[in-house]
Amino acid sequence: MSTKPYVDLGRSEWSALRERTPLPLTAAEVEALRGLGDVIDLEEVRDIYLPLSRLLNLYVGATHGLRRALNTFLDDPHRPGRPTPQRGTPFVIGVAGSVAVGKSTVSRLLEALLARWPEHPRVERVTTDGFLLPKAELERRGLMSRKGFPESYDRRALTRFVADVKAGKPEVTAPVYSHLIYDIVPGERLTVHQPDILIVEGLNVLQPALPGKDGRTRLAVSDYFDFSVYVDARTADIERWYLERFRKLRETAFQDPRSYFHRFTDVSEEEALAYARTTWQTINEPNLRQNIAPTRGRATLQLHKGPDHKVQRLSLRKL
Ligand SMILES: Nc1ncnc2c1ncn2[C@@H]1O[C@H](COP(=O)(O)OP(=O)(O)O)[C@@H](O)[C@H]1O
Ligand SMILES: CC(C)(COP(=O)(O)O)[C@@H](O)C(=O)NCCC(=O)O
């Protein structure tokens, strides 16, 4: 008997589960998914992400069942001053993985697919980059070449944000990061309004809490997750995706004179890619090895992608 905490499923075993997913995609919905602006292989959506939306729908239902059981337990009329039964709170999903592994694409897909289920139509998504320290503060702390490392974030503010959403506060706001200016946008906030499901996407979302200096137990953002996904791939493939994305951005977003990377439109593609390769080798790959990959075994589900972004294998945590 395997003592591994995960059940491993091959692509075909997993995609066969699609037959049991009651919500097929209509032509209009397929069009809407294309409208997300991602390069999405629709067979991949059907075979991998539709069954995943079904699994998540089952988890949301089971969590509601647990809450009802807890309320029955707490709601003892003979006990004066008994706690108020728990109201429904958002189901929180974490999506972790390296820079350029495809977290945003997976999260946007899940956001669109989960919103189609009548039981949880309100799905909101946040990325943890809003909780990066502002550029001036990173410079002050000597952390500009550690961007994306755990210490480059205001981890307390991020945990507080998710705790507030999970607690059912009517409106919770977060700062906003702009890839255009490579910094937090002064004065801009995004607001989350009591969603049924919150997706929290970021490099370090599966990190455990740091021990408090005062010996008190702290909580990390991962302590609020009801489900988490780690997007996994070979490092060499992720580096290639990172460089490909940089090359595409040079032809598009970097053309904007306000872009922090605008200077790379004036140099040769080779020079621009040499810069991107250095960023990968000195920042993103060390962060993957030291901080991100070690959290893989904390996820509820690991998606293992092949060189073409297609999910080849999945590991699902046993209960
Ligand atoms: N399923 C996919 N099929 C094809 N290309 C993808 C897929 N997922 C991601 N990509 C591409 O890989 C790159 C990184 O994806 P992205 O979602 O931006 O990663 P992250 O949010 O992890 O940095 C992007 O250029 C994206 O278009
Ligand atoms: C903004 C990021 C830290 C990632 O953000 P997150 O996953 O926290 O939302 C990362 O994409 C980044 O910009 N890294 C800096 C190095 C680089 O330019 O690739």
| 102 marked among binding-site residues | yes
Tokens of 2: 């395997």
Find out whether the beta carbon of 310 lies less than 6 Å from any atom of ligand 1.
no
ipTM > 0.90 for the complex: yes
Is residue 118 included in any domain, yes or no?
Answer: yes
Give the distance (Å) from ligand 2 centre to CA of residue 246: 12
Nearest CA to ligand 1 atom 26: 102
pLDDT of residue 208: 93
pLDDT level of residue 86 (50, 70, 90 thresholds): low
Residues in the chain: 319
Residue 101 marked in a binding site: yes
Task: Choose one of 11, 33, 34, 38 to mutate for the ligand 1 pocket test, by most ligand atoms within 8 angstroms of C-beta.
Answer: 38
Which ligand is in closest contact with the Cα of 145?
2
99 CA distance to ligand 2 centroid (A)? Answer: 6
Average pLDDT over residues 222-238: 98
Q: Which residues contact 247 (CB under 8 A, 6 or more apart)?
A: 269, 272, 273, 276
Question: Residue 133's pLDDT is what?
Answer: 98
Give the Cα separation of 90 and 282 in Å (integer): 38
In a domain, 301, yes or no: yes
pLDDT tens string 269-302? 999 999 999 999 999 999 999 999 999 999 999 9
- Which residue's entry shows tokens 């991107």? 276
pLDDT at 146 over 80: yes
CATH number at residue 93: 3.40.50.300
Per the domain annotation, does 24 fall within a domain? yes
Residue 95 is assigned to a ligand binding site: no
Is there a domain that residue 215 lies in? yes
Specify if 240 maps to a domain.
yes
What is the number of the ligand 2 atom nearest to the C-alpha of 131?
Answer: 8
> Which residue did the predictor score with more confidence, 18 or 58?
58
Tally of domains within the chain: 1
The answer to whether residue 297 is domain-embedded is yes
For 16-30, 73-87, 166-180, which range has the lowest pLDDT when averaged over its residues? 73-87
303 lines ligand 2 (CB under 6 A): no
Q: Supply the range of the domain harboring residue 38.
A: 6-75+87-317
Whether the CB-CB separation of 182 and 197 falls below 8 Å is answered with: no
User: Model confidence over 106-138: pLDDT tens digits?
Assistant: 999 999 999 999 888 999 999 999 999 999 999
* Average pLDDT value for residue range 240-253: 94
Tell me what pLDDT residue 125 has: 97
Report the percent of the chain where pLDDT is more than 90: 78
Would the CB of 99 count as within 6 Å of ligand 1? yes
> Does residue 1 belong to any structural domain of this protein?
no
More confident residue, 146 or 27: 146
Span 152-201, pLDDT tens digits: 999 999 999 999 999 999 999 999 999 999 999 999 999 999 999 999 99
Q: What is the pTM of this model?
A: 0.94
Reply yes or no on whether the pLDDT at 57 is more than 70.
yes
Are the C-beta atoms of 135 and 182 separated by less than 8 Å? yes
Q: Does residue 243 lie within any of the structural domains?
A: yes
User: pLDDT tier at 76 (50, 70, 90 boundaries)?
Assistant: low
pLDDT of residue 38: 72
Nearest to 67 by CA among 191, 206, 205, 168: 168
